[in-house]
Amino acid sequence: MPAYARPLVMGIINRTPDSFYDRGETFDPTDALKKVEKLITDGADIIDIGGVKAGPGDNVDEAEEIRRVIPTIQAVHERYPHTVLSVDTWRPAVAEAAVSAGARLINDTWAGFEPDLPLVAGALRAGYVCSHTGGATPRTRPHRVHYDDVVKDVIEETTALAEKALAAGAPRELVFIDPTHDFGKNTYHGLELLRRVSELVDTGYPVLMALSNKDFVAETTGRFDVEERLAGTLAATAWAAQHGVAAFRVHHVKETVDTLRMIAAIQGDAAPVHTIRGLA
């Protein structure tokens, strides 16, 4: 947990050769461990490890996903036993292996596509991230999606998953709801979810947002190069933090921590790190 009142920061480790953002930067196991060390040094509270690219791409079967993520989870757990580890998967067998290896959180970005996954989380006493995709099949892109009320739909789907996981035994403090920007949604949906984020927070469940470098940021700012999306991401992060979002899944940990510290200081929840101006 952070030393002051700010949202949690979840750093990303992609054990894939084809991530849209890092393009295989942490596919090598040694590189992955070096990146974990940097993320923790930069202030990450949670490390999220995934073995399958979210978007379309080469087929990755269950056995290959396990081969990619489990040794890394084991190694990170041994080196950093007090850091919360998360596995990014929609497959129950991968989740079970990950929790056995040291993960405490199952980040199901495909919204219970495998309906047993919330039950697995409960049985293992693991945390669970409840996502919303509008019924999308894993690794597909949205196409002409429509909701009468996207916020209402998100709340209904995520809280139903949360109740299912809790009833099965998942620890309440590690059950998050995630509106899941870009998954089964267009840019207008993403902006409305931010505009009405207080409705998500008012459910009483901690809200996790994965805003980092998403397409809705690119389309809003006109910055389509993934390397130019940081400013838009941090603006959205600051807005969401101010409105009570509990955790953020991010590529840029240090910059996110600084943004959250600044918001916390403005709100009176954190003191400045070092003050001398006008005081000496």
Active site residues: 214, 249
Residue for token digits 């918001």?
Answer: 263
Beta strands in 15-137 (DSSP E): 46-50, 84-88, 105-108, 127-130
Residues 6+ apart with CB under 8 A from 197: 207, 239, 240, 243, 244, 245
**14 forms bridges with which residues in the sheet?**
50
As a dihedral over the C-alpha atoms of residue 30, residue 36, residue 41, residue 46, rounded to 10 degrees, the angle is -170
Contact in structure between 79 and 71 (CB atoms under 8 Å): no
Residue 134, token pair as written in the block: 């509008």
DSSP code for 207:
B
* Strand 175-177 versus strand 105-108 pairing type: unpaired
Query: What's the full length of the chain, in residues?
Result: 280
Return the H-helix or E-strand segment holding 209. Answer: strand 208-209
Contact in structure between 24 and 16 (CB atoms under 8 Å): yes
DSSP code for 83:
S
Taking alpha carbons only, the member of 177, 182, 162, 179 closest to residue 119 is: 162
